[in-house]
Amino acid sequence: MMPREKLKRFGSGSLTNEELLAILLRTGTPERNVLLLAEECLGYYEGSLYALQRETLEGLSRLKGIGSVKAITIQSALELGVRYYKERMALKTKIADPEDVFVFCLEMSLLDQEHVRVLSLDSKNHVIGFDDVTKGTVNASLIHPREVFRKAILHSAVAIILVHNHPSGDPLPSMEDRKITEKITQSGELLSIPCRDHVIIGKGCFYSFTAGKTFWKGDIENGTEPRTAEIAEVERSP
């Protein structure tokens, strides 16, 4: 049974990744049918949708049998998946602990550049807005409190949470991360919009400045204290 027929009869959830990709590709080549082409394409990335999503358009286009049109189709479909996830998570999500932040911003672990995101919260800790304020190398000199709090003010936020990702996959904070946290925390106190946490997203793990711990795979029960030199405390005024 071909993928389209299988989808009509049993629903999209019954299809393998290769079969779903074959529907996007639509046609094969004279040497291989569309299902075999899809299998070879995913096989090039060892079956990983994550690796496929991270591939550049140029790199994908160079695969035999893919070309620019099919590459654009694949990237568009994967981007829709990322945007669906963002929209779904924004529907009255309540942030109760750092793990909720990790789940809400999980797609940031797919990014190959550092991004800084601001979650705006209402009085019941619901996310009422989330905005990416910068990307590229993250350091204290490039992140201005004005950019961080402007959207929060527009959302009438009661508090914010700062989030950024480490493309290396290691969420332990750097000295720059500590400086950023202190800078934004102090600015939030002046504006009466407190920064309740700064969460760094890694690969299957995250670091919470509020907790002072690294957590793996979202397991809030099994966080570990980093070494003393790695603890990122924010100095507050008495």
Q: What percent of the chain has pLDDT over 90?
A: 52
Higher confidence at residue 235 or residue 64? 64
Contact of 121 with 171, CB cutoff 8 Å = no
* pLDDT tier at 195, thresholds 50, 70, 90: very high
Residues 154, 76, single domain; the answer is no
Query: Across residues 143-172, what is the average pLDDT?
Result: 91
Residues 78, 101, single domain; the answer is no
The β-bridge partners of 131 are 118
Residues 74, 102, single domain; the answer is no
Residues 138, 154, single domain; the answer is yes
Query: Across residues 53-67, what is the average pLDDT?
Result: 91
Residues 163, 181, single domain; the answer is yes
Flag whether 238 is in a domain: no
Q: Is the pTM of this model over 0.75?
A: no
- Report the mean per-residue pLDDT for the chain: 85
Alpha-carbon span 169 to 111, nearest angstrom: 10
Alpha-carbon span 119 to 126, nearest angstrom: 9
**Whether the predicted pLDDT of 167 surpasses 60:** yes
State which residues form the domain around 109. 92-230
Q: Looking at residue 12, which CATH number applies to its domain?
A: 1.10.150
> How many domains would you assign to the chain?
2
